[in-house]
Amino acid sequence: MDNCRIHSIETLGGVDGPGVRCVIFFQGCPLHCLYCQNPDTQSFAGGREMALAELMHTIERTRPYFGPGGGVTLSGGEPLAQPQAVAELLKACQAKGIHTAIDTSGVCVTAPALEAARLADLLLLDIKHPDSEKCRALTGSGLEGPLKLLQQAEEQHQAVWIRHVVVPGWSDTLEVMDALARLLKSYTCIQRVELLPYHTMAAEKYQALGRDLPLPGVPAADPVHVRQLEVYLRERLA
Ligand code: SF4
């Protein structure tokens, strides 16, 4: 097994896929989302190099806590920016009967990245804005990548959970929910849609990196409003 660059590992994750999960945060991301809560994962020079065997050892150690519904989630950063490592890790987990998920922005759609993505039991796919130009303004990249990944998942009957961060002034309206519903409605592979509220807790991380908060003055999203938007969106997708 090769090495890969890892930012951190959360051994008892509860929000990145079903059940209790070991979440492996890969270091490095080609995007620069204005609302990124983990700017310290963006640089490909950061993190630390780890052998995949070492990662498998950690996964095996935490396996007793997964319960029947849990497993491993590869997150980041952008895990599919290291597709060979992701593919090897997924294969090793699946050989041991461990459920696998990839949490991705869909920005990496090279042949090796698509091949690696295909191996996961579940894709947690971010749709950062339903309008491709606004998506580009918000993240640095449009919708082409995530839609390609979604199309592959559809063709291969791979389970997908869509995630969307609600950012005040960018994506917190019923019109954006309607556009998301129009974009996603025809995909039968989508099992679930989650809306996540933008928050400003990363301010200190940006400060530590010597960077300004990319969305100055934008307040955290109101969780009650986000919940209402989620109910509205799910009704339109039903
Ligand atoms: S894709 Fe994720 S890690 Fe990368 S910049 Fe966007 S929010 Fe941050």
Domain 3-237 belongs to what topology?
TIM Barrel (3.20.20)
Write out pLDDT tens, residues 14-28.
899 999 999 999 999
Three-class SS state of 119: helix
CA of 215 to the centre of ligand 1 (A): 14
pLDDT at 1: 56
pLDDT at 68: 84
Torsion of CA 21, 74, 232, 134, to 10 degrees: 160
Write out pLDDT tens, residues 73-123.
999 999 999 999 999 999 999 999 999 999 999 999 999 999 999 999 999
Kindly state if the Cβ of 229 falls inside 6 Å of ligand 1: no
Kindly state if the Cβ of 76 falls inside 6 Å of ligand 1: yes
Atom 3 (ligand 1) nearest CA:
77
Kindly state if the Cβ of 29 falls inside 6 Å of ligand 1: yes
pLDDT at 34: 96
Ligand 1 atom with least separation from CA of 105: 1
Among 29, 5, 17, smallest CA distance to 161 is for: 17
Kindly state if the Cβ of 31 falls inside 6 Å of ligand 1: yes
